[in-house]
Amino acid sequence: MARALSLGIVLFATWMLLSGEFSIEHGLVLGLGIGSVILVVLIAVRMDVVDHEGHPVHLTRRFIGYWIWLLVEIVKASIDVTKRIWSPSLPISPTMYILKVSQPGELGQVIYAISITLTPGTVTVRLDGGNILVHAIAREAGEDLAGGEMDRRVTRLEASGITVTESVK
Amino acid sequence: MEMLLNGLSWALLMGGCFFIVTGGVGLLRLPDVYSRMHAAGVTDTLGAGLFLGGLMIQAGLSLVTAKLVLILIFILFTSPTATYALANALYGGGVKPVDRDRRHCETIDKRGESSKP
């Protein structure tokens, strides 16, 4: 219920942001917004997708720290790939890596897989049964990932979410 | 102050352009579709991020900036999803990644000895 309410608030904030109408004089726009938000939340609740995966609000606080770390990694990796693309000898060594995923839940595994793909130089090719297949543009990028820092950080992020969810219950 | 902001905005826009062009050059230079996805990744993340950052400074603190932030968030969520779908379909379809000399590239198993299938 709390999750459905927070979904509704997020959706309505998005509606106000995109329409740019905040005052009560634009009652029609706001009214249509409220109507469609209620409809969407009702449908989402009936479809049973408003859970810890579909609307993971419990991760929000820890997510900000993770995002900052990930953005720094993305910038570093982008510059690395840029150097490889522009250097005349094209110093790439494409390699496939099979890694273990240490996150227990699917949400954590998906966050990990998406983080890998978001970082230039490594792309998730397949994710199943606790294993992940990664294509790396160069050995260094793959070895860096195999070092497991991102894996540990995502595991910590997900673990923090689980404890919060349980305390809410 | 305004000159400073304009300068910063231009620097971000030019930086974004550089990384977007880098993605294009990478698409042409890299040997196969898997490695080309890395080049597209540079365009999607740093290219789009810097470019939108430059536009945000141009727009100032307004509704337009909020919308630009939303665009950036949507790009950062959808592009890896699309890349994963593409890579997964390629791999399932039997496209093998190759290296610079067009030989099949190596697969390194880092799961440790105990968990080998």
Looking at chain B, the whole-number percentage of residues with pLDDT higher than 70 is 95
* A5-12: average pLDDT: 90
pLDDT at A166: 44
* Rounded CA separation A97/A13 (Å): 42
From the number of C-beta atoms within 10 Å of its C-beta (0-12, 13-18, 19+), residue B3 rates as: exposed
Q: Is residue A52 part of a domain?
A: no
Verify that A90 and A135 share a domain, yes or no: yes
Q: What is the mean pLDDT of chain B?
A: 87
- Which residue from B19, B30, B37 is facing A123, i.e. has the nearest CB? B37
Label residue A161 by pLDDT band (50, 70, 90): low
> Does the pTM exceed 0.95?
no
Dihedral pair phi/psi, residue A134, rounded to 5°: -120, 135
Verify that A98 and A16 share a domain, yes or no: no
Label residue B15 by pLDDT band (50, 70, 90): very high
Verify that A64 and A146 share a domain, yes or no: yes
Sheet holding A95-100, edge to edge: A122-128, A131-136, A95-100, B107-109
Is there a contact between A137 and B81 if contact means CB atoms under 8 Å apart? no
B52 touches chain A (CB under 8 A): no
pLDDT at B109: 83
* B90-115: average pLDDT: 78
Looking at the DSSP bridge assignments, the partners of residue A123 are A135
Asked if residue A165 has pLDDT above 50, the reply is no
Q: Which residues of B touch A142 (CB under 8 A)?
A: 108
Domain segments of chain B as ranges: 2-115
Label residue B53 by pLDDT band (50, 70, 90): very high
ipTM (interface pTM): 0.84
Asked if residue A141 has pLDDT above 50, the reply is yes
Label residue B115 by pLDDT band (50, 70, 90): very low
pLDDT at A162: 56
Is there a contact between A85 and B108 if contact means CB atoms under 8 Å apart? no
Q: Print the domain residue range for A77.
A: 58-168
Looking at the DSSP bridge assignments, the partners of residue B108 are A97
Asked if residue A168 has pLDDT above 70, the reply is no
C-beta of residue A79 within 8 angstroms of C-beta of residue A122? no
Q: Is residue A86 part of a domain?
A: yes
Helix, strand, coil abundance in chain B, percent, nearest 5: 75, 5, 20
Q: Is residue A115 part of a domain?
A: yes
Q: Which residues of B touch A56 (CB under 8 A)?
A: none
Interface mutation vs chain B, best among A76, A96, A133, most B CBs within 10 Å: A96
Residues 6+ apart with CB under 8 A from B69: B56
Give the minimum alpha-carbon distance from A161 to chain B in angstroms, rounded to a whole number: 20
Verify that A104 and A138 share a domain, yes or no: yes
Give the minimum alpha-carbon distance from A164 to chain B in angstroms, rounded to a whole number: 24
- Identify the weakest region by mean pLDDT among A143-152, B18-27, B53-62: A143-152
- Which residue from B46, B77, B111 is facing A99, i.e. has the nearest CB? B111
Helix, strand, coil abundance in chain A, percent, nearest 5: 65, 10, 20
Verify that A42 and A83 share a domain, yes or no: no
Helix axes A27-47, A2-19, angle to 10 degrees: 140
Q: Is residue A133 part of a domain?
A: yes
pLDDT at A117: 92
Is there a contact between A94 and B34 if contact means CB atoms under 8 Å apart? yes
* Rounded CA separation A138/A80 (Å): 10
pLDDT tens for each residue of A117-132: 999 889 999 988 788 9
pLDDT tens for each residue of A28-72: 888 888 999 999 999 998 988 887 777 777 777 778 888 899 999
Q: Is residue A53 part of a domain?
A: no
Our count of domains for chain A comes to 2
Is there a contact between B31 and A119 if contact means CB atoms under 8 Å apart? no
Is there a contact between B38 and A146 if contact means CB atoms under 8 Å apart? no
pLDDT tens for each residue of A69-83: 999 999 999 999 999
Q: Which residues of A touch B63 (CB under 8 A)?
A: 17, 20
